[in-house]
Structure formats: C-alpha cells, structure tokens
Amino acid sequence: MITSIQELQEAALNSKKDFKTPSDIHPKERRVVLENVGVIDPQSIEDYIASGGYMSLFRALDEMSPKEVIEEVKISALRGRGGGGYPTGLKWESVSKVISEQKYIICNGDEGDPGAFMDRAVMEGDPHRVLEGMAIAGYACGANKGYIYVRAEYPIAVEKLSRAIKQATKFGILGENIAHSGFNFSVEIRLGAGAFVCGEATALIASIEGNRGHPRQKPPHLSDYGLWGKPTVLNNVETLANIAPIIKNGGAWFRAIGTESSSGTKVFALTGHIKNTGLVEVEMGTTLRELIFDIGGGVEDGRKFKAIQSGGPSGGCIPEHLLDLQVDYESLKSAGSIMGSGGLIVIDEGSNMVEIARFFMDFCRSESCGKCTPCRVGTTELTMLLDKFIAKKATKSDFELLKEMCKMVKSTSLCGLGQTAPNPVLSTIRYFEDEYLAGICDD
C-alpha cells in the first residue's frame, strides 16, 4: 500500500530504471501524451511510478483543493481531444458545481474513426496514465466512480487496463481513502460492441446503462443528467492522458505549447497513401506539410499529393494549396474540415474525390443508429446520389439536390453523426467541384 507522497517517492526510487527514449522519434515530434508509450512496461505499476507516475494525483490530493486543480486545467486551456474541442476545465467546473451525492467520470475509449488508433496506443501502452487522469478528474469534480468505455475489438487495451486497475487498487492508489485524503475513487471497464455512434456521449451512456446505443437530445447536458441521471464528466482518452503532465508541470507550461487557440500537442494517425504510416505526436500549429512530408516521408511510390482527409468520417478533405495550414481546431474548421480525434488520411493523385466522399458517406449510412429520419434516410439518399455521379449518370438537378440534402442532413439530424456526415461531400465540392461536374451527363 502506498499512502503518502513520501512512500510514492520511495517506491519510485526503489524501482528506478534507466528508461530509454525510442530512437525513432522525429525531431519535429513532441511527446507529452505518448511519452511513456514504448518506454515503460505498461503491465508494471512499478515502472509507471518510477517514471513519476501517480505523483500528480498524490500532489493534487495533498497540496491542492479541487478548485485549484480545476483552475490549473483551465489555465492550461486544454481542449477535449475526442473531436469537439470543448475546454476541459470548463467541463469539469460545471460538474464540480452541481450538488449531488453521486457523480461519475467516464473515459471515452470507443475510438470508432476508421484508421485511428491514438487512444488504443495510450490504453495499451500507458494504462496507468489514463487511470491517473480519471482519478484527478474525480477529485476535482467530486466523483468517486469512474468507467472506461472500450470497444471489445480492443482486447489488448482491455487486458492492460484491467491489470492496471487491479495493480492500482492493490497499491491503494485506487479505492477508499486514497493517500489518507478521504477521497475514494474506483474504476470499472465497460465493453462496447463496436458501433461508431456509441462514441457519441449520450449514446455511450445509454450503452453503459444497458440500453441500445442511441443518442438523445441535449439539454439536459451530462453535467446535470449523465450516467444513471447523475452529473457526469465524459472525456476522451487523450484528454485524460494530458492531465497528469498538466498538474505536474503547471497549466502555464501546457498553455505555452501549441497555438493561441489550441494548446498542447495532438496525436495523429497518419494513414493512406503515405510512406511512413503510424502515430505521431506534434505541437498544435505544426503544418500539414511538416506532418505529411517531413515526418510522414511524403506520398508513397513517388506519386503526387492530392488531398488530406482530416477528422474521420465527420471531417473534410484539404487540398494541396493549403498544405502550409498550421493544424489547430480553428484553422481546420476554416478550411472546411475538423480536428476530430486525429485521423489523417493522405490521398494521392490517382484517387477520385467523389469516390472518397462516397466511402465516408457509406460508412455513416451503415453506422447510423436509425433513430432520427434525417440521418437514417438522408445518408442513404446521399450515398445513392453519389453513386450517380460516380457512374456519370447524374443530372444538374442531382447536383443541386446533393448540396441541398447535405444542408438538410447537417441541420436537422439529432446527433453529431448525422450533423457531420455531409462534411466530406461538402469539402470535396468546395475544392474538387470539377470531379462532380464530370459525373453530370446533361448540359
């Protein structure tokens, strides 16, 4: 059992190891979230403690009030890494202010975007970091129970997290009266069946409660009415993995990394027609060119770059002339795309952008939960319309209908899935309209 900062420090010294930083980190990378991944043994709580792990939690419990913890997170200007970019400090503050005998912290490890595996890398490679972030969130918001929602297709993440929970509980770092502070916090895992929509906050909660993973309208917001109707903080894995370094180094340290509107780093999954696929963590504000050409090695087989799709199925395609865009929440939005969870798919000159848009639309069609008509019927109709362009059998009025229907599905769908499903179509119309016009057969 570890019951004080001194004991934690002693344990760290006793198991002191010479951790080796991986030699293949590109000079333009900056690791905060992934700093332990591939460095420590994720199955060993001793390794985590030796690397300074759980010190932020113990410091928070020993030296800071819940309000001070929230203040530090607010100073950091950390924004949620799950897609929306909502300020984490504000989210925590809303829940902390609600008076309730029971509150919950949920870690969203659903990660349904095709090609994305940032959260998986953290859950598998540094599970204690996630638990530490959740426990700090629990202390700050007055919650004593946490759930990690992981898709069942991530069995290694489930195994590593389960082991980490057992170890932390055995060490007294989770459980009752942590570090004699009077604070109790326990964590359980809930498995998802792999539906994309179950990553959406309200659908995820319905799924944990044992109901169908259907989203519901907001308000009420989760801060008032979350899991089992209780105030709930729901954060993405990467968001929570940033918490321990923020408490350790201070919010101002984090705020100094990145851009004015988006602090810190972001982990991206580079995929598609690129030489070096895989995860990279860079400061916010790194340009697309640096990401694709310097770190990613450029387009594979010497082919020409055409576009990059960011933000998963809800994102958009960014063309070559915007390669010097500094990646952050605002710049991607102004380019017609989004940060999303951090998927970056490189598209080469041989690809047809209408087919790319159809791929993502079809994904949303098959993943639509069917609860609301605009999303259920709209994504089906849009997929069929795109087929006409691909078969070069579309008419001018089909093009007008396509644009009109995109607007309708965006503005009338119940949840983020339908509200963002037309984004790949709209962004490819914006930058590659000629490829749609080539599919029109009447003049």
Q: Which residues contact ligand FMN (rule: CB under 6 A)?
A: 80-84, 86, 108, 110-112, 196-197, 199-201, 234-236, 239, 341, 415-417
Residue 185 CB, nearest approach to ligand FMN (Å): 18
In whole angstroms, how far apart are CA 44 and each of 155, 160, 163, 190, 360?
Answer: 18, 10, 9, 22, 39
**Nearest-approach distance from CB 376 to ligand FMN, in angstroms:** 14
Pick between residue 74 and residue 289 the one whose CB is nearest to ligand FMN.
Answer: 74
Q: How far, CA to CA in Å, does 186 sit from each of 83, 146, 172, 173, 189?
A: 27, 6, 10, 9, 11
**Nearer of residues 200 and 435 to ligand FMN, judged by Cβ:** 200
Q: Is the peptide bond before 155 cis (omega within 30 degrees of 0)?
A: no
**Cα–Cα distances in angstroms (integers) from residue 114 to residues 32, 195, 285, 313, 428, in the given order:** 24, 12, 24, 8, 19
Comparing CB distances to ligand FMN, the nearer of 45 and 204 is 204
By C-beta, is 31 or 91 nearer to ligand FMN? Answer: 91
Residue 216 CB, nearest approach to ligand FMN (Å)? 12
Q: Say how far apart CA 113 and CA 110 lie, in whole Å.
A: 9
- The answer to whether residues 162 and 148 touch, using CB atoms and an 8 Å cutoff, is no
Rounded CA gap, 146 and 275, in Å?
40
Name the residue nearer to ligand FMN (CB basis): 140 or 234. Answer: 234
Q: Minimum Å distance from CB 132 to ligand FMN? A: 15
Distance CA 232, CA 241 (A): 18
Give least dist CB 83 to ligand FMN, A.
4
Cβ nearer to ligand FMN, comparing 149 with 399:
149
- CB 234 → ligand FMN: shortest distance, Å? 5
**Distance of closest approach, residue 373 Cβ to ligand FMN, in angstroms:** 17
Measured from the CB of residue 65, what is the shortest distance to ligand FMN in angstroms?
23
Question: From its phi and psi, is residue 106 left (phi > 0), alpha (psi between -120 and 50) or beta?
Answer: beta
Q: Which residues of 355-370 are buried (b: 16+ CB within 10 A; e: fewer)?
A: ebbbbbbbbbbebbbe
**Quick check: helix, strand or coil at residue 138?**
helix
Q: Which two tokens stand for residue 331?
A: 């710049």
Looking at the Cβ atoms of 54 and 154, the one nearer to ligand FMN is: 154
- Identify which of residues 108 and 383 has a Cβ nearer to ligand FMN in the complex: 108
Kind of pairing, strands 183-192 and 175-178? antiparallel
Q: Is the distance from CB of 285 to CB of 310 less than 8 angstroms?
A: no
User: How far apart, in Å, do the first and last CA atoms of the chain sit?
Assistant: 77
Compute the least distance from the CB of residue 426 to ligand FMN, in Å: 17
**Closer CB to ligand FMN, residue 46 or residue 113?**
113
